[in-house]
Structure 1
Amino acid sequence: MSAPRRHLFTAMLLVAASVASAATAQLLPSINQAVGGLGNLPVLGGVLGGERGPGGSSAISNSAPGVLRTLDTVAVEGVAGLDPASLLDIRRLRLRELVRENGRALEMDNDGNPVRRGELVAVDLGEASLIAARGAGFIVLRDARSAELGLRMTILSAPRKMSAREALKRLRQAAPGIDADYNHLFEPAGGGLAVAAGAALASGAGAGGTRIAMIDGAVASHPSLAGASIEQKGFAGNPTPTGHGTAVASLIVGDQGSFHGAARGASLIVADVYGGNRAAGSAETVARALSWATAKRPQVINISLVGPNNRLLARAIEAVERRGIAVVAAVGNDGPAAPPQYPASYPGVIAVTAVDARDRALTEAGKAVHLDFAAPGADLAAALPGRGYTRVRGTSFAAPLVAARLALTGSAARLAAEAVPGKGRVGRGIICRACRIDPRLVGAK
């Protein structure tokens, strides 16, 4: 068996082993501690799914005696050895596992994307369409108007025992012209939601003139964030600190010793769309978070999340951009064979990929309909919840660096002027190359 296929086979075996447990995701020990004795099997990448760390360097944990459980994406540490087809296979496997583990809440659309079970979203639903939908057996679950986005968001429940796929077809037949879609899920770029169990939420006083928002998991306290101005709000229950959110925040406003974010002194607005729940992060939740963030009037909103094209999210992003607020998004880590990811692929959104310390585009970086910039996304340190630092890898961690520089420079044109060449697909060039903090400087392994 070739090395790439052997790595993929091992990854699939570990995903299959996850069926025995439904333990809550948490920060993990290294894989060598978790599964000592695996010999020469390939080491798996981070709990952030397609990304190393934060929370250790393992994609599996001992969630029950003798049981190996994958958290999200299984990514081989030597990911350069995987071809695009293998990365695509792993993506499909990850999404199937997510739906299987959350079968009461989730199902799949026709393209294999996770959606909220039995739910559809309608944008600016008119009275005639509403009457037609009710006549076809649909029930209004939630109905809200966003003054900031100028949108009405209506969540409809499908008729009993009808799948979301069947329901969308029926709804469009009953109300031709309705602007409706699935309530898709959006993942941290490449997958992965490591809950920082017991960690306190980050907060801080004193507001800087620059305001940056992030749609992500909540941010844990950390010495590098102690002096930062951070406001957080949960949109899927109470804000729940995550490794992913903490790492992203630290890369924007962190400041401790030799570690510093790309926009120290800025105010950070954090919208938690997960509440610690992997089955959260729906299009509806992200749209509500965007509405709140927009009201805070940031210069830039960073979205290190990925998912499929969705009508509600597309309309929400358009509305944010009309307000003069820039949106920066990661392209994901599922490889170039994966479908273009959103919101990075929407017009006007600044799509960001990642490079390593040698300015090489990451092999596992996904693609968008357009690619604007690259930034360091490997061989760099980010904060762990509580204290300490870890190595991180993935486009999730490149996007906040670009968002920070965009907020400080004030325009994409000025950003482009400071871009430097790289190797491979890097868009108009690499931004914030000097923002990469060598993990060795802060004791990250």
Structure 2
Amino acid sequence: MRIFSLIFALAAMFAAPLAAQISLPGVRLPGVGEVIQPLRETVDRTAEAARREADDLVRARLRMIDRLVSRNRNIIELDARGEPARRGEMLVMDAGPELEKRLARSGFALISRERVEGLDFYVARLRTPDGMTLTEAEVELRGLLPQAEISADHLHFQSGTAESPALAIASAAGSTHGKSAPVGMIDGAPGAVVPVAETRGFAKGAPYPSNHGSAVASLLASAGANEIRVADVYGTDKAGGNALAMVKGLGWLIARGSKVVTISLVGPRNAVLERAIAAAQRKGVVVVASVGNDGPAAPPAFPASYDGVVAVTAVDGKRRALIEAGRALHLDYAAPGADIRGLNAKGKRFRLRGTSFATPLVAARVAHALGAGRNWRGALDREAEDLGRKGPDDVYGRGLVCGSCRGR
């Protein structure tokens, strides 16, 4: 971190003349140890504070999951890894044509087997036997279908919050004018005041306006994305944001022509969603995703950690990395994710904070590069401002993109 580099630079600055044993009549200069020790103590206190903050974020994440499961035990349960998923359901790929025959005497029931629109692969949705946990179901199915890809239907969570109403709002800054490639968004639905080309629901009660979805869509628009489609994977469903809904939403967005898809959601690794994103990438679609807000001690965030996904973190108005920013298995870019503004579902302007809100700014930049027929990676790398240590790093990635963007 920059603070540690500064502290050690100061220590070296003071230590150098002392090491040269400068002496002045009647003046006692402090020894090197006397100078460096307080600096070491400052470093130790700063590191300890950072560790406590990271531990607090991990505990907050676990409490949130525990509350969600305890309040919705009829539709949500934990899988073998302790991750929340839709209760009593498993997802299966590559099971072969004899799936129903193999299931006949197993107690599992086939709810549906369908081809995912726009992605050209099939997913089977199974009901587990009564009283069987997801952990037990996974073990049973792996024995029953050894060649198949099996997964729980994991839930994903939005990674940002509206902090408070914004009373004084500057006009949108950092927008890029000109035509952009069509952008898809997987989130909650935006409110009516946020102009989008099309919205479709993939959850119970969807499309249903949400503050998070409205903010993300408004940031896309403020950054100059001019053809936005939204797959609402939440609606009013307590088990919304599940992997299957995201897969179907992604397929629909691609079928409708989206060339960039932004996802400000985080969850665990899921085989079905990973397959869907790989299929989208083979079609030339760029997927952009946030690293989440569970802190650096949290598990790696997905879908940001899948191969080829553009992983985005966030900085505040002073270009400092957000303390709550999560991590991914790789990091591409940073963008403003605090001290920015967006619209909620009722059209009110709110101050926003979180990696959720950095992600659409990067997605809009990708869309503009594609719309102009340019190589998007080269365009973003040229724009990116190097922060932190020189070159790509695990705090800011390849640099800050859309640094002057402040929302609307």
TM-score, length-scaled by structure 1: 0.72
Kindly state the Cα deviation for residue 317 of structure 1 after the two structures are TM-superposed.
Answer: 0.3
Tell me, yes or no, if the aligned pair for 1:190 and 1:306 is still in contact at 8 Å: no
1:285 alignment partner in structure 2: 245
Kindly state the Cα deviation for residue 94 of structure 1 after the two structures are TM-superposed.
Answer: 0.4
2:201 alignment partner in structure 1: 234
Kindly state the Cα deviation for residue 384 of structure 1 after the two structures are TM-superposed.
Answer: 2.1
Asked if 1:252 corresponds to 2:220, the answer is yes
* In 2: Cα distance, 1:375 partner to 1:271 partner: 23
1:90 to 60, 73, 83: 60
Tell me, yes or no, if the aligned pair for 1:377 and 1:396 is still in contact at 8 Å: yes
1:217 to 176, 179, 188: 188
Write the deviation string for residues 195-218 of structure 1: whole angstroms up to 9, x where unpaired: xxxxxxxxxxxx966311100000
1:418 alignment partner in structure 2: 383
TM-score, length-scaled by structure 2: 0.78
* In 2: Cα distance, 1:185 partner to 1:191 partner: 18
Write the deviation string for residues 38-85 of structure 1: whole angstroms up to 9, x where unpaired: xxxxxxxxxxxxxxxxxxxxxxxxxxxxxxxxxxxxxxxxx9795211
Amino acid aligned to 1:171: L
* In 2: Cα distance, 1:190 partner to 1:111 partner: 24
Kindly state the Cα deviation for residue 86 of structure 1 after the two structures are TM-superposed.
Answer: 1.4
Asked if 1:317 corresponds to 2:277, the answer is yes
Structure 1, unaligned stretches of length 5 or more? 1-78, 193-206, 254-260
Kindly state the Cα deviation for residue 135 of structure 1 after the two structures are TM-superposed.
Answer: 3.0
What SS does structure 1 have at the residue aligned with 2:67?
A: helix
1:432 alignment partner in structure 2: 402
Write the deviation string for residues 330-369 of structure 1: whole angstroms up to 9, x where unpaired: 0000001110011000001000000011111111000000
2:343 alignment partner in structure 1: 383
Aligned pairs for 1:7-86 within 5 A: 82-86=52-56
What SS does structure 1 have at the residue aligned with 2:356?
A: helix
Using the aligned pairs only, state the percent identity.
Answer: 42
Tell me, yes or no, if the aligned pair for 1:92 and 1:112 is still in contact at 8 Å: no
Tell me, yes or no, if the aligned pair for 2:185 and 2:229 is still in contact at 8 Å: yes
Rg comparison, structure with higher value: 2
Asked if 1:169 corresponds to 2:139, the answer is yes
2:109 alignment partner in structure 1: 139
Aligned pairs for 1:133-212 within 5 A: 133-189=103-159, 210-212=181-183
More helix per residue? 2
The structure-2 alpha-carbon separation of the partners of 1:175 and 1:106, relative to structure 1 and needing over 3 Å to count, comes to: same
Tell me, yes or no, if the aligned pair for 2:185 and 2:261 is still in contact at 8 Å: yes
The structure whose RCO (Cα within 8 Å, separation 6+) is larger is 2
Amino acid aligned to 1:268: I
The structure-2 alpha-carbon separation of the partners of 1:229 and 1:167, relative to structure 1 and needing over 3 Å to count, comes to: closer
The structure-2 alpha-carbon separation of the partners of 1:387 and 1:98, relative to structure 1 and needing over 3 Å to count, comes to: same
What SS does structure 2 have at the residue aligned with 1:118?
A: strand
* In 2: Cα distance, 1:382 partner to 1:81 partner: 31
**How many aligned positions are there?**
334
The structure-2 alpha-carbon separation of the partners of 1:276 and 1:147, relative to structure 1 and needing over 3 Å to count, comes to: closer
1:256 alignment partner in structure 2: none
Tell me, yes or no, if the aligned pair for 1:355 and 1:362 is still in contact at 8 Å: yes
Kindly state the Cα deviation for residue 303 of structure 1 after the two structures are TM-superposed.
Answer: 0.4
Amino acid aligned to 2:327: K
Aligned pairs for 1:346-425 within 5 A: 346-410=306-370, 411-423=376-388, 425=395
What SS does structure 1 have at the residue aligned with 2:91?
A: strand
Tell me, yes or no, if the aligned pair for 1:149 and 1:316 is still in contact at 8 Å: yes
Kindly state the Cα deviation for residue 191 of structure 1 after the two structures are TM-superposed.
Answer: 8.5
Write the deviation string for residues 215-236 of structure 1: whole angstroms up to 9, x where unpaired: 00000022xx3xx442100111
What SS does structure 2 have at the residue aligned with 1:327?
A: strand
Kindly state the Cα deviation for residue 128 of structure 1 after the two structures are TM-superposed.
Answer: 3.7
2:171 alignment partner in structure 1: none
* In 1: Cα distance, 2:347 partner to 2:233 partner: 24
* In 1: Cα distance, 2:101 partner to 2:401 partner: 51
Kindly state the Cα deviation for residue 113 of structure 1 after the two structures are TM-superposed.
Answer: 1.1
* In 2: Cα distance, 1:118 partner to 1:339 partner: 25
